[in-house]
């Protein structure tokens, strides 16, 4: 009996262990190319329909055709965002065409290979600092102790945000990434909590941008508000939303890739040994395989721009299409033995950073290298690291399916070791 596609809209389903969820999704992927899902719009209370896309070939093709399947009509989440939320979360991830290209081009000037090398130097130092914080204890929650603070510290250092503001950024991003998990939002309305978190981050970023206009330094914020003659700049109202995109999208991929990665390595000791025996030679393919298997970003929505036929089905203008990246990443039509975790898998053309096209993750190379550095530090300094208990997923109380396949806790144990930093 084929699994019921309505499970994709079930809160409890997304709290099941990763492999159990993916087994059900595999059944759905083989049963049909598209699955129509109903959900209640959180603002209007009306029932709406989205069409889930689970097969690799379809995710690739839709991603390549932004003129037919766009990102800029309402949001990339299931429900259209109200205007007040788009003011905070309306960066170029929710744009198309010239408007999208302009902002992405401006930001991409700051992600040159030279700049990337400088950021990786920071990742090395922060990895040492963060692991020093728990290496003597013999046990830790990897999420709380490393996966959450490390990528966010890297982003804050990259933007020039002082360490004194780290907890402010951490609390706000936890609310936004938490998908309404009561542990992060308490008894507040999840959407109001997310809006307030967005306001907090934008205010922080706007203040920093004003300071950098007067006193530029060698950080990304300074580069965004200063430019060579003839080059475009982000407008004042565009800097804050970009920071939210970086602090949320850039953070979530890395933080959850680290958590899922250690979970996968501990559950596959043969693959872990292959990696630990040859870190320089295997890290690159291991990182790609972690991203494929973990697929930290669960989905992105696209909206049909005109009546069309695709994959044997007719769609109308305004129909909502949801690209499930984790399902595509385990499609046997593209990946031999897709359920096997293989740290030497090559080729590995996964869509863990999105499909090809204008919305492919701009920070993919940074995320890849960051995860590689962290794995090397962890497996070298804590070589017998193991799971103390099973991973605890985020409870997507307000967003089902969750935009991010988050890990809330990952208890680990290891032989205590000495700090190496000053």
Give the per-residue pLDDT at 114: 78
Residue 229 in this model has a pLDDT that exceeds 50: no
Q: Are 352 and 287 in contact (CB under 8 A)?
A: no
Cα distance between residue 379 and residue 264, in whole Å: 13
Residue 47 in this model has a pLDDT that exceeds 70: yes
**pLDDT tens, residue by residue, 309-331:** 999 999 999 999 999 999 999 99
Q: Are 128 and 381 in contact (CB under 8 A)?
A: no
Is 378 within a domain? Answer: yes
Is 165 within a domain? Answer: yes
Is 376 within a domain? Answer: yes
3-state secondary structure of 97: helix
CA distances in angstroms from 30 to 55, 56, 314, 322, listed in the order given: 8, 11, 20, 17
More confident residue, 269 or 40: 269
310's CB contacts (< 8 A; 6+ apart) are 58, 61, 62, 68
CB atoms closer than 10 angstroms to residue 175 = 23
For the chain, give the mean pLDDT. 88
Is 420 within a domain? Answer: no
Name the residue among 319, 354, 394, 387 with its Cα closest to residue 34. 319
Is 418 within a domain? Answer: no
Is 19 within a domain? Answer: yes
403 confidence band (pLDDT: 50, 70, 90): confident
Residue 184 in this model has a pLDDT that exceeds 70: no
Domain around 83: 5-413
Cα distance between residue 260 and residue 182, in whole Å: 22
- The mean-pLDDT minimum among 178-182, 352-356, 404-408 falls in 178-182
More confident residue, 23 or 80: 23
3-state secondary structure of 341: coil
Is 419 within a domain? Answer: no
Name the residue among 153, 155, 198 with its Cα closest to residue 175. 198
Tell me 3's DSSP state: P
Domains held by the chain: number: 1
Residue 198 in this model has a pLDDT that exceeds 90: no
Tell me, what CATH number does 56's domain have?
Answer: 1.10.630.10
């Amino acid at each position: 009996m084929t699994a019921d596609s309505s499970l994709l809209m079930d809160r409890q389903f997304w709290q099941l262990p990763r492999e159990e969820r993916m087994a059900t999704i595999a059944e759905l992927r083989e049963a049909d190319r598209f699955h129509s899902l109903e959900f209640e719009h959180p603002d209007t209370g009306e029932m709406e329909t989205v069409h889930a896309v689970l097969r690799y070939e379809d995710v690739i093709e839709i991603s390549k055709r932004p003129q037919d399947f766009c990102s800029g009509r309402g949001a990339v989440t299931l429900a259209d965002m109200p205007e007040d939320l788009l003011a905070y979360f309306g960066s170029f991830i929710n744009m198309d065409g010239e408007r999208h290209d302009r902002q992405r081009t401006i930001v991409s000037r700051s992600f040159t290979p030279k700049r990337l090398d400088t950021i990786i130097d920071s990742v090395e130092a922060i990895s040492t600092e963060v692991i020093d914080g728990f290496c003597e204890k013999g046990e830790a929650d990897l999420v709380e102790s490393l996966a959450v603070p490390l990528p966010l510290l890297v982003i804050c250092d990259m933007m020039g945000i002082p360490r004194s503001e780290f907890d402010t950024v951490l609390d706000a991003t936890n609310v936004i990434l938490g998908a309404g998990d009561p542990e992060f939002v308490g008894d507040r309305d999840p959407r109001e909590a997310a809006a307030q978190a967005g306001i907090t981050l934008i205010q922080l970023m706007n203040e920093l941008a004003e300071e950098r206009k007067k006193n530029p330094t060698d950080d990304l914020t300074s580069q965004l508000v200063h430019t060579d003659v003839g080059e475009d700049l982000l407008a004042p109202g565009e800097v804050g939303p970009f920071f939210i995109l970086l602090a949320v999208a850039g953070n979530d991929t890395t933080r959850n890739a680290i958590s899922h990665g250690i979970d996968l390595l501990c559950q596959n000791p043969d693959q872990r040994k292959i990696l630990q025996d040859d870190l320089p030679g295997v890290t690159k393919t291991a990182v790609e395989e972690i991203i494929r298997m973990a697929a930290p970003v669960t989905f992105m929505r696209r909206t049909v721009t005109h009546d069309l036929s695709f994959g044997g089905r007719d769609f109308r203008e305004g129909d909502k299409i949801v690209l499930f990246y984790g399902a595509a990443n385990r499609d046997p039509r593209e990946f031999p033995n897709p359920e096997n975790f293989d740290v030497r898998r090559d080729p590995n053309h996964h869509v863990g950073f999105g499909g090809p096209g204008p919305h492919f993750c701009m920070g993919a190379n940074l995320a890849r290298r960051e995860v590689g550095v962290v794995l090397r530090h962890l497996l070298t300094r804590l070589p017998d690291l193991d799971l103390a208990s099973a991973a605890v997923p985020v409870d997507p109380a307000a967003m089902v399916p969750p935009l991010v396949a988050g890990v809330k806790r990952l208890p680990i144990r290891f032989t205590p070791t000495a700090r190496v930093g000053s």
